Chains A and B, each alone.
Chain A
Amino acid sequence: MRRVPLAPRPNWQADVERLGFAFHTLDGETYWDESVAYAFTLEEIERDLEAPTDAIEQLCFAFIEKAIDDDEVLTRLAIPAAQWDLIRESWRRGDRNLYGRLDLAYDGKGPAKLLEYNADTPTALFESAVVQWDWLEQAMARGALRPDCDQFNALHERLIAAFAQLRQPSPYRLHLACVQDSNEDKGTVDYMLDCAVQAGLDARFTYIEEIGLLSDGRFCDGANQPIETLFKLYPWEWLFREGYAANLATARCQFVEPPWKALLSNKGLLAFLWEMEPGHPNLLPTFFEGDPRCASLSQRRVRKPLYSREGANVTLTERGQVLDSDDGPYGAEGFVLQDAALNLFQADGHYAVLGSWLVASQACGLCLREDVSPITRNTSRFVPHYIEG
């Protein structure tokens, strides 16, 4: 694994905009950053990232099997009791999941360590699947990189295949929804919709805020079309607590991600995985705050809210002293404490966190976010990667 400075394409903005990538710059700051790329060997990708990602997913399934009927676990995960049956039924029915992203610490020198699992509403998907793919093709075509390079990135193909198989019979009608006023979320959902159409589906967009309730108990879109299958780029922990929470179970709607993903998109998962497999090479010691076993953690540790996105409310401490933190609205449901990863990639004053993509529970792609601080935030820059030829 190497950090490789590269000259950006002279007209890189136009080059990425032609793909429909509208949020390469966020709040005036560069988000898509091709002045640097990360190079991996094929062995690093397959042995250190792909295989552990698949292994962690299997571990997560084993956890769900144990936890799904355990009221105590669901309580610790701060999942409202009124939603337990919805979650349990989605798991027993075998509702399929579409995608997720493991955030990993990895520096090329040892096993990757799981920082967290974005199992419910991961973004950075379009730039991972398409923009960095096209960047590599162009870099090889103009001779900036050897023509036999590759990339761990079958996301586009896998997404199309997975959309076709989420529901039977297929093709089916799929609604895709996100919140208003977020270019990044809308860009992600627009891309998802494109993939769904290529999978042959009748795919329609609606904003989360437009969703309504029909007299027969089903949800509907802004045009009053009933929603039978809903891809929602909107977290379960919010849906569970909002106005239509009581209608989720009676709406006869298949959700993507399915409700059982709520057990994974929760930092409490990290504590339960460590409890199941203490010493697992790809896990970091993690406990719920207040657990006496926290005393066994290293002095350099990270405090994470059960529900948190984009690094919000995460605090890195050493011997009780705050080294880095990010403000935010989360934390009411509790925290976990996790050993700080010692293998976060660091070079030239930059930290990199790896995002390992799963589609239909199979590892199939990689993305990297870079920042000058060890906590990845929503402003961290997206940098492309390649596999050396």
Chain B
Amino acid sequence: MKRSTQIGLAAAGLLLVASYWGRTGSQDQSEESLVYANLAECRAGGQLTSPQCEQRFREASANHLRDAKKFTSTSACEAEYGSGSCQSAVWNGASVVVPALAGFMLARSLAQGGGAAQPLLPPTRQACPPGSPAQECQQARSSSSSGGGYGGGRSSSSRAYSTTSGAALVARSGSSPGVATTTTTSRGGFGLTARSYFSSSSS
């Protein structure tokens, strides 16, 4: 693939993930599935070894409880994440309800060594309202135990998630401080030429 695998835009609150379809008849079959619904899917994808998948899954699981939004009741959680999307947990000794772990994502491309795996949550009710016909929502609401997702059939090629920071995500596949004590002696020594030109300072 000759394009970025994902694009995060903090200012826009967006995380975009590239779709991937194998180029038939091409040598370029290096699948860049960055999002897995579960451990089985990761192993089936064949991109990571089984121990690597287990480690990634452990990282995501470990961060899940820490990063997921906590609720005091199942109904409050389901109001945001949809029916059947939440689980009970104990956090710092208190009973909480959190959106369940729906998958995990590698933050950087595998070629760059990858960062820690990020936990993924079910899509919010806002992104996938109940009964939404959108394929990515139906995939997200159905059981993820089939392991068919990204390595598998081309029909199940798109699934909605949300990140722990609340961004909507659709995975498609087949796819110094320390200021010295100084004072400012002057200002405005740059920029004069731009003012005298009508055209742009860039090209």
Contact = CB atoms under 8 A, between A and B. Distances in A.
A210 to B, nearest CB: 7
A78 interface: no
Contacts, number: 187
Contact of B2 (A154, A202, A213): A154
B200 interface: yes
Interface residues of A, number: 76
B200 A378 contact: yes
A185 B202 contact: yes
Contacts of B19: 137, 140-141, 147
A309 B199 contact: yes
B92 interface: no
Given A18-B14, A224-B184, A184 B200 contact: yes
Given A147-B21, A216-B182, A122 B203 contact: yes
Interface in B146-201: 158, 172, 174, 176, 179-180, 182-194, 196-201
Contacts of A207: 191
Nearest to A312: B199
Given A147-B21, A198-B8, A244 B176 contact: no
A150 B196 CA distance: 43
B144 interface: no
A235 B201 contact: yes
A182 B22 contact: no
A184 B203 CA distance: 10
B168 to A, nearest CB: 11
B185 A215 contact: yes
A197 B8 CA distance: 11
A161 B22 CA distance: 26
B180 A226 contact: yes
B190 to A, nearest CB: 5
A284 B1 CA distance: 32
A122 B202 contact: yes
Contacts of B21: 147-148, 389
Contacts of A225: 179
B11 A190 contact: yes
A185 B200 CA distance: 8
A238 B22 contact: no
A153 B18 contact: no
B189 A242 contact: yes
Nearest to B197: A329
Contacts of B109: 157
Contacts of A215: 182-185
Given A118-B203, A157-B5, A182-B201, A202 B176 contact: yes
B133 to A, nearest CB: 15
A20 B9 contact: yes
Contacts of A141: 19, 158, 172
B30 interface: no
Interface string B26-70: 100000000000000000000000000000000000000000000
A371 to B, nearest CB: 15
A6 interface: no
Nearest to B22: A148
Contact of B191 (A152, A157, A242): A242
Contacts of B7: 129-130, 133-134, 156
25 contacts: A122-B202, A129-B7, A130-B9, A133-B7, A133-B16, A153-B3, A157-B4, A157-B108, A185-B202, A207-B191, A208-B194, A209-B188, A211-B189, A211-B190, A214-B183, A220-B182, A220-B184, A234-B194, A238-B194, A238-B201, A242-B192, A243-B192, A329-B196, A378-B200, A389-B23
Interface of B: 1-5, 7-12, 14, 16, 18-19, 21-24, 26, 108-109, 112, 158, 172, 174, 176, 179-180, 182-194, 196-203
Q: Which 10 A-B pairs have the closest CB atoms?
A: A244-B189, A243-B189, A212-B187, A209-B191, A238-B193, A309-B203, A123-B202, A214-B182, A148-B21, A156-B4
